[in-house]
Structure 1
Amino acid sequence: MSRTKSIKQSKLFIHVIENHIFVYKYQEMRTLAFLFMIIIFYSCSTLNPQEISNLKKTTFNPLQLRPGIETNDLRIDLIRQTETYNDTDSTTATRNVDYHPLGFDLGNGLFFDVNDNLCLRIDYLISASPDNFNIKKTYRPEHNKKHTHYIFSNDSLLIKSEGSKNNRYIFHRSIQSDTMTFFHKNRFLYQIIASDTSLLYGGKKRIIDGIYLSDVNEYYVNNRKHNRIFSLSEKEIHLMDWYKISMPDADTILIKRAGRKNDYLLYTIIQSDDLIFLFNKDFQGIKIVFEDQNKILLFRNADLITKYELVN
């Protein structure tokens, strides 16, 4: 073998080794980067378990089961029902079930409507009157992306978006005796009729949905052509046979899906003087920070998404 050929083979061998080393290091760097991304994603996709475990918990108000209304759709979803619909002739899609104005106030700002949506009432959280308010909602408040005002005044709900000169009219209401009627301009929307034993929702001529007192701390809801039972015992609310809300102690609320043999824990709620945590077993959920009694920051896991404040 000639000296020149030997040198060429040696250089080729070295080049092959260098390529293997480069590929190995590149793959190693990709692996480390991938692991780093997983760690970052996981840390951002959950609440802080240590912050939860170190929370100086305060007590909640007792649970209650009281027929109520929430007509302004100012809610934070905890359980939102969905439905499937035909998007085209060959495909289907999923959408949220509409909020219903009729439901139950469960205490501590929890509201369960007769469409089976469980929410936290924003008016409760920021100490706003449901009948007279100016609530400012800021999206991505750390960047002050955009804001919207929800204004209820003179029995009318208006929405003013950033950059808009005019308020957008949503509805107005008329109250006569035990009946509250809602309109959009001259168009009738619905009416709510209240009595000592019932809370009814319907049109001009017929009742569509109703909540009726059946016993002490027990109601039945007549909608979807059948009756559904809601009841309150000493420490637990039964929302049909679907959900249970309980207080094992004064500073903890549990939300469970009812099962035939065992119940499944959906969320735990705890609070301090200036924080509320609502989380599942994987520490995923909601954190609410009270900047003052009229201003809150809403986090989904570690992500700050919205600020609500009562504007004077």
Structure 2
Amino acid sequence: MKKYLYPGIVGLLILINSCATLDPAEISSLQRIPFEPFSLTPRVEPTGLRIDIIRQESSTGDSLIQTSEIPYHSAGYDLGNSLFYDLDNNLGFRVNDLLGSEASPEFKIILTGNPKGGSRFITYSLSNDSLKLRVNNRAKERYLWHREITADCTAYQYKSRLRYAISSTDSSLLYYPNKRLKEEIYQKNDSTFSWKRRNREQPVLVTPREVKIHDRYLLSLSPNYLKMQVFQIRKRRNHLLFTVERSAEKILVYDENARGKKIQLEPDVLAIYRNKGLLQKYELSKAP
């Protein structure tokens, strides 16, 4: 999604955004439950159904500032607690895992925008190893990919064109964006994984309470496992980006000014709020 901002109104937008926060009373009264210790497993997340914590962006322009979100990478690390960090440095929650449909060979998930804004809804359907989407109630579905599974690898294709192929074990993953290139995630020892692309290699260190990613981000759990903090790694002092806390019914992700997201967890439904405003809903459909 592209965004256009004129420098003259950037300050106004910052002022408006600074006034919108999560409910401080909701944060303080949250009935916190502990997170699971961090774990690290190389894996693929091919659906793009994620709730962003960190989303990378690129920007261009002089008098007109244009930013666009960097597309998700399908390969990355499962960190536990439904978290996924991809190889383009995007961090978020996996919708399928939060809805409990991760292990299902088939699913139908309906994404709805803010109903007050009259937004469209999109239905994502995985069936017969093919992912399709339908906008609103249109009869025609849009085909996204199908996968072909063999003993050696899983290939994701668009019609006859290879999008990428994956070969994996419990401790390694090979990602082939085409027949000549390869990206590799492999386990170096009990606490270190490494991502190798061409001649560049970047480590990821994991302990039960910390994950250090590429000297870029640090995820840290409090001693009682009730609070997760996401830091940007800096030379002098790490910068706190977000605090993540959860109860049985919700997950809160917020910065030092209490701005952020709330994920309301209901049976087969995720309601995502940006500050106090409903942003979107994901619903796991029972219909065939």
TM-score by length of 1: 0.81
Q: Secondary structure at the match of 2:31?
A: coil
Q: Which residue of 2 aligns with 1:107?
A: 80
Deviation at 1:147, TM superposition (A): 1.2
Q: Which amino acid aligns with 1:297?
A: A
TM-score after normalising by structure 2: 0.87
Distance in 2 (alpha carbons) for counterparts of 1:144 and 1:290:
23
Check conservation: 1:67, 1:105, Cα contact below 8 A: yes
2:227 maps to amino acid: T
Match of 2:67 in 1: 94
Structure 2: gaps (5+ residues): 1-14
Query: Runs of at least 4 residues of structure 1 off by over 6 A?
Result: none
Gaps of 5+ in 1: 1-39
Tell me, yes or no, if structure 1 residue 238 matches structure 2 residue 239.
Answer: no
1:215 to 1:42, Cα distance in 2 relative to 1, 3 A = closer
Q: CA deviation at 1:142?
A: 4.6
- Equivalent residue, structure 2, for 1:10: none
* Change in 2 beyond 3 A, CA 1:203/1:148: closer
Q: Distance in 2 between matches of 1:106 and 1:84?
A: 29
Show the counterpart of 2:95: 122
Show the counterpart of 2:249. Answer: 274
Q: Show CA shifts across 1:183-233 (max 9, x none).
A: 111122111111354201114533332111111121111126410010112
Residue 291 of structure 1 and its aligned partner are, at CA, apart by 2.4
Query: Which residue does 2:184 correspond to in 1?
Result: 210
Higher helix content, 1 or 2: 1
Q: Are the counterparts in 1 of residues 43 and 168 from structure 2 also a CA contact under 8 Å? A: no
Q: Is 1:305 paired with 2:260?
A: no
Structure 2 counterpart SS, 1:183: strand
Which deviates more from structure 2 when the two are superposed, residues 279-288 or residues 56-65? 56-65
User: Is the CA contact 1:44–1:302 (under 8 Å) kept in the aligned structure 2?
Assistant: no
Q: 2:123 aligns with which of 135, 149, 172?
A: 149
Report the equivalent of 2:48: 73
1:62 aligns with 2:31: no
Which residue of 1 is the match for residue 234 of structure 2? 259
**Could you tell me whether the CA contact under 8 Å between 1:43 and 1:302 is conserved in 2?**
no
Once residues 238 and 197 of structure 1 are traced to their aligned partners in structure 2, the CA distance between those partners, rounded to angstroms, is 18
Separation of aligned partners in 1, 2:106 and 2:35: 26
TM-align CA RMSD: 2.4
Q: Could you tell me which amino acid in structure 2 is paired with residue 289 of structure 1? A: Q
Shift of 1:43: 8.7
Amino acid at match of 2:193: Y
User: Does the Cα contact within 8 Å between 2:42 and 2:171 map onto a contact in 1?
Assistant: no
Q: 1:92 deviation in Å?
A: 7.2
SS of the counterpart of 2:262? Answer: strand
> Which letter maps to 1:244?
L
SS in 1 for 2:182: strand
SS in 2 for 1:207: coil
Q: How many residues get paired?
A: 272
Larger radius of gyration: 1
Give 1:194's aligned residue: 168
> Is the CA contact (8 Å cut-off) linking 1:221 and 1:229 kept in structure 2?
yes
Larger displacement relative to structure 2 (127-136 or 68-77) = 127-136
Cα distance between partner residues in 2 of 1:105 and 1:98: 18
Task: Name the CA distance, whole Å, in 2 between partners of 1:92 and 1:179.
Answer: 42
Which amino acid counterpart does residue 78 of structure 1 have in structure 2? I
